Amino acid sequence: MNFDLAYLLYLAKAAAVLIAVALTLRARIKPAVVWGIAGMVGVVVVCSLYFLFSALGADPRIGMDYRIFWGAGRDVWAGVNPYAPDRFAEHPFLQPPSALPLFAAFALLPFPLGYIAWSVLSLVAAIVLVPLALRTLSAQQRLDGPLAAGGGALSAGLPEVVLLALASALAVSDASMLTTGLGQLSLLAAVVLAAALAAQARGWPVAAGALLALATVKVATMLPFLLLFGRRSDWRAWAAMGVTTLALCLAAGNPLDLPARLTVVPERIGQLEAPGQVNDYSFEGKQTDSILGFEHAFYRLGLRDRTVIKVGQYAAVLLLGAWVGWQVLGRDRLPRAAACSLVALYSTVFLYHRNYDTVILALPLVYSAGRARLAGGRARWLFAACATAILLVLHLNIDLLKTVRGLSLEWGVWGRIVQAVVLPYGTWLILLAMALLVWGARAKEKTCLPAPA
C-alpha cells in the first residue's frame, strides 16, 4: 500500500472512531460532518479494494485464506478428500465438514474472480452489519416484554446519523479490512449469527437453526451463541440446526467418510498450533500478534509451560463461560439484548480467535452505544466506556503490536511489563467490556434521557 493511501487510511480510521465515540457521549455534531467522514471512509475502503485487486497475484498475502478455501472447494468437485494429509499440506484449513459446500461454491469461479466477488460481498456485509445488529437487538428486546425494555427501545437512542458513524468505524476497522483482504469468513459468520438471533426473536425457529448451522464455518464463534437458545421453545431451532448441519456435512462427500473427517479436525488444529506454526501463540509463531484469547495472554504474562498454559486456558474459558451462562440463563438474568451482546463478547475469547473475528462485536457495540445515549447516571458512562473499548478492539493494529513486541524483547523488566499489559490488550479490553456491559445493564439508572436530535 502506497504512503498516501496509508496516510489517508489512518486519518479515516481516527476520524471514524472519534466521531463514533463523540456521538456515543451524546455530543451534538452536525449530520453533514458525519456524512463527510462516512464519505471519506467510503473513498478509502474503495481505494483499498482497488489496491488489493491490482496487487492480486503479486503479493501472496492478498486473498491468502480465500485461496485455501477455494482449493478445498476444488478438491470437493474433484472427489478428493480435502482433509487428506497431502491436501492439508497444500491448503491447511480448520473448518468442519459443514463448511465444504461453501468452499465448493467458491470453486465455481476462477480464483481471481471469486476473490473479487467475495471481497465485494464482505464489504457489503461490513456496511449492513451495524443496522442488522440494531434490528436484531430490537427484536430480542421485545422478547422481554414492554415492561422490561431495559431503559427504553434501543432504536430510540440510535438515529440514522449515529448508525452511520458506527458503521463507518466498523467498515474501516482493522478487523473488517483484514477480513476482506485475506478473504476470511468472519463477516459472513457475524451476519449469519445476527440473522439467527433475529429469526429466533421473530418466532422462526427453523430459519434460526439453519442459520446457526451455516455459522459453523466459524464454529468457535458460533458455539457460545447456543447459550442464547436455552428456552423450552428453542428445541425446534436445535433440531433444525442438527438436521441442517448433517445435511451440509453429507452434501460434500461420501457419508462413510464423515466420522474420519470429524476426528481429523482436532489433529489438524494441533498441527497448526505447534511451536513455530501459523497458530502458535508464542513469540516463535509466524502470525502471533493477531491472536486473541487466554493462551496468548498467559504466554505474555510470563508463563512458558505449554501444558500449564493449555490447562489454564480451558479453566479460564470454562469459568468465564459459567459466569456468562449465569448472566444469560440464571434466575436474575440480563435483558435479552444485553445477553446477546455479552455472549458476542465472550465468543471472541472462546478458545482460538484472531483480530478479524472481532467483527461479531458489532452487536455489543450497537447495544452499548445505544444504551449510553439513552441512559443517565452511572450507567451512561459504563456503556460509553464499553463502546469505546470495543472500538479499540476492532481497530487493533497488528503492525503496531509487532513493532512493540520486537522492542519489548530488548527492554528487560520494562519489556516484560509491556508484554503483559500492552501486547494482549485486545483480550484485556474484551474482558473489561464484558464487565462494563454487565455492570451498566444492572445499574440503577437515575434517569432515562432521550437522545439529542
Across the range 105-121, mean pLDDT stands at 94
Q: Does any domain span residue 354?
A: yes
Identity of residue 97? P
Nearest Cα to Cα of residue 257 among 100, 70, 94: 100
For the stretch 310-364, pLDDT in tens is: 999 999 999 999 999 999 998 888 999 999 999 999 999 998 889 999 999 999 9
Domain residues for the domain of 34 are 3-442
Burial-class residue 18 by CB neighbours within 10 Å (0-12, 13-18, 19+): middle
Q: Which three cell numbers stand for residue 293?
A: 484469547
Listing DSSP states for 152-192 in one string gives: S-GGGG--HHHHHHHHHHHHTSHHHHHHHHHT-SHHHHHHH
Structurally, the chain folds into a number of domains equal to 1
Phi then psi for residue 106, to 5 deg, are -55, -40
pLDDT the model gives residue 9: 86
Q: Does any domain span residue 125?
A: yes
Q: Which three cell numbers stand for residue 24?
A: 456515543
Rounded to whole angstroms, how far apart are CA atoms 287 and 276? 9
Of the listed ranges 140-154, 176-190, 310-324, the least confidently predicted one is 140-154
Q: H-helix or E-strand containing 428?
A: helix 425-442
Residue whose C-alpha cell reads 495472554 in the numeric block: 297
Q: 147-155: long-range contacts at Cβ-Cβ below 8 A with a sequence spacing of 24 or more?
A: 148/335, 149/335, 150/335, 150/337, 150/338, 150/371, 150/441, 151/371, 151/374, 151/375, 151/379, 151/445, 151/448, 152/374, 152/448, 154/337, 154/366, 154/367, 154/370, 154/371, 154/374, 155/370
Rounded to whole angstroms, how far apart are CA atoms 383 and 154? 13
Q: Does any domain span residue 410?
A: yes
Residue 61 has pLDDT above 90, yes or no: no
Distances (CA, A) of 246 to 75, 97, 161, 325: 20, 9, 43, 27
Nearest Cα to Cα of residue 261 among 447, 98, 397, 112: 98
Q: Does any domain span residue 342?
A: yes
Q: Does any domain span residue 68?
A: yes
For the stretch 87-111, pLDDT in tens is: 888 888 888 999 999 999 999 999 9
pLDDT band at 260 (very low <50, low <70, confident <90, very high): confident
Q: Does any domain span residue 452?
A: no
Residue 149 has pLDDT above 50, yes or no: no
Q: Does any domain span residue 449?
A: no
Of the listed ranges 94-103, 243-252, 261-270, the least confidently predicted one is 261-270
